[in-house]
A and B are shown apart, each in its own frame.
Chain A
Amino acid sequence: MSRILVTGVSSYWGGRLAQALERDPDVETIVGVSPRDPTLELERTEFVRVGTQHALLRRIVQAAEIDTVIDSRLVVDSLGASPREAHETNVIGTMNILAACGGPDSPVRKVVFKSSAHYYGCERDDPAFFTEAMQRPHPPRTRLESDIVEAESAVRGFAERNPQVTVTVLRFANGLGPDLDTSHGRVLRLPAIPCILGFDPRYQFVHEDDIVGALEYAVAHDLPGVYNVAGDGVLVLSEIASLLGRPLAPILPPWGTGLAAAGLRLAGVRIPEEMSQQLRYGRALDNRRLKAAGCTLRYTTREAVQRFAEDLRVRELRRGEGAPYRYEHEVEEFLRYSPSVRRRAERDPDRSAS
């Protein structure tokens, strides 16, 4: 039986992961913390609105006797957060959460840290497939990348100081899926896909379900160390465009790309710096260590793009169907703690009897 704390439960990942863990009977308790309300409907996860103040988190960890902490807050896309917020979340937040988990009297036995392939950066003289042991050949180029590198080094330091804790770092390739909102997702939904003239970069994606699956796998199994998570297979951008049935628009010049990207932003197309690097050089990860550890990924990169394309065709039809979920504190409290509410376990036998 495990007692789990999920940070960043209001993010898409945190929410999806908590939903998945709720279905697992081996999970006794799930506590979700975040400074913002959850965006996905949760059944038995207990939500606590708290930031990353380590003193408060430590009290929660101690009081609930948390043995597994999943840190899914990391900002890996400069779409939603300003560089300042991203730094605050990625570096300071990680340090605080680790501080809340460490120490000889801590009940925590496992930490799963969701990291990103941005750790490796994206440069001209990169290897074609990054393995976990590879260091980036050049210092980080963007704020986001240096924040991720710093957060990971804090995690590494934590693992060295706390040998009793199993620390798993999962480095995810770019996520892709119908419900996922990322810079890449937005660009691939455009009527034509912008690219840099004269470049056809290699791309690797991981389907949103596989991201949740990999996190869940790391919770259920002991995987000490770093693991790359990426779909099998590497596509080139022109292949992706033809799978999506969209033309490529080589509107970014090879020289002065940053300037042109700034121009595009005025037109409403946001291409952040880390993405324009990928549009130039591409990036792929070697996912064999994770597969050797027994974790299976359901979608290859190509299948992830195909699912995305299928959703793209029916996206207009689906729009407006079903109201978005809104977290109401009182309602959730009532559903969880009121004696009048009959839990599913109590309800189900009745149903089968009638």
Chain B
Amino acid sequence: MSTERRALPAPSDELRAHLPAIEPDRQVTDWGRSERVEGLMDRTLYDWLYHYWFRCEVEGIEHVPSTGGALLVSNHSGALPPDAAMITKAIKEEHARPRPLHLTVEHFFKGYPGFSMLVAKVGGVPAHPANVHRLLADEEQLVLVFPEGRKGTEKLYKDRYKLRRFGRGGFVEAAMRARAPIVPIAVVGAEEAMPIFAHMSLLQRMTGLLYFPLTPTFPHFGLAGFAGYLPAKFRIRFLEPVATDGWGEEPWQDRGLVQTVADDIRSRVQEELIDMVAHRRSVWFG
């Protein structure tokens, strides 16, 4: 961590001017994101999931800024989490000025065959502090992080909607350095879309995957079962942004402040989740 911290470039408007120009003939960005693959996934899968399968309902989309970098922070769940794709789609469908959303993923995905090809194509970026900084501060893009990480996705059905620890507050530090606002998000429905009943550690070790879950459709229906989501009703609530530029020159040096902000955001998302689950009359119809 210490080397990475030293390695981050100082925020500089001078260097921002030297970002490479966009080559209009290309369909792939410098991050490896492919318009073509993303469009294909959107047309064949996400559009249908968003409108008909999960019937997503979105609140507070105006909290996502139209310009400048912003860090979106959400709860995370489901064995093959559908929440990231649905948040991306929500911004695309509902926002007045839709922008691409970059999703930070574990380094694991860059090293695993197949995932390595696909995850980057649909907007996944390895969760390296330097990557987040470049996206937020230099390129002024939207970045989505799941501070729970895999602690969130691997939790069992009985623990649903209980937020895990929010890492070490790295996301707050990244936002502070980039002086970008943090937009917390609460998502209800993903927990029921692909619940995990148990983990099979032997198969996990054999495949080298992050985890090997037992879900309603996996592994007994094979890989196809991995995409078999239950039709839970999705509700995505964007909460009021937290500004990170009002705490002085280098607020990230104050570890206490970073932790406090991270805990505040976590408890806001947790309270929102409790509220949303309390008002939900049916898992399937909302």
Contacts and interface: CB of A to CB of B under 8 A. Distances in A.
A137 B32 CA distance: 22
Interface in B91-145: 107-108, 110-117, 120-121, 125-126, 128, 130-131, 134
Most chain-A Cβ atoms within 10 A of its Cβ — which of B19, B30, B131? B30
A86 B265 CA distance: 54
B116 A236 contact: no
Most chain-A Cβ atoms within 10 A of its Cβ — which of B20, B126, B134? B20
Interface residues of B, number: 37
B131 A199 contact: no
A280 B115 CA distance: 12
Nearest to A303: B23
Main secondary structure of the interface of A (DSSP, over half): loop
Interface in B3-24: 3-4, 6-7, 9, 14-15, 18-21, 23
Interface in B26-73: 26, 28, 30-32, 34
Contacts of B6: 133, 135
A124 B115 CA distance: 13
Contacts of B131: 127-129
A291 B9 CA distance: 15
Interface stretch (A163-171, A281-289, A314-322): A281-289
B137 to A, nearest CB: 13
A133 B19 CA distance: 18
Contacts of B26: 233, 235, 239, 302
A200 B114 CA distance: 9
Contacts of A282: 32
Give the interface residue-count category, chain A: 35 or more
B52 to A, nearest CB: 31
Contact of A129 (B34, B111, B113, B130): B130
A300 B113 contact: no
A124 B113 CA distance: 12
A196 interface: yes
A183 interface: no
A221 B107 CA distance: 40
Contacts of A280: 111, 116
A225 B266 CA distance: 43
B20 A232 contact: yes
Given A124-B107, A202-B32, A133 B7 contact: yes
Interface of B: 3-4, 6-7, 9, 14-15, 18-21, 23, 25-26, 28, 30-32, 34, 107-108, 110-117, 120-121, 125-126, 128, 130-131, 134
20 contacts: A124-B110, A125-B126, A126-B128, A128-B128, A129-B130, A133-B9, A134-B3, A134-B7, A199-B116, A202-B32, A232-B21, A236-B34, A236-B120, A239-B26, A280-B111, A288-B18, A289-B15, A291-B18, A302-B25, A302-B26
**4 smallest A-B Cβ distances: which pairs?**
A198-B113, A232-B20, A254-B113, A127-B130
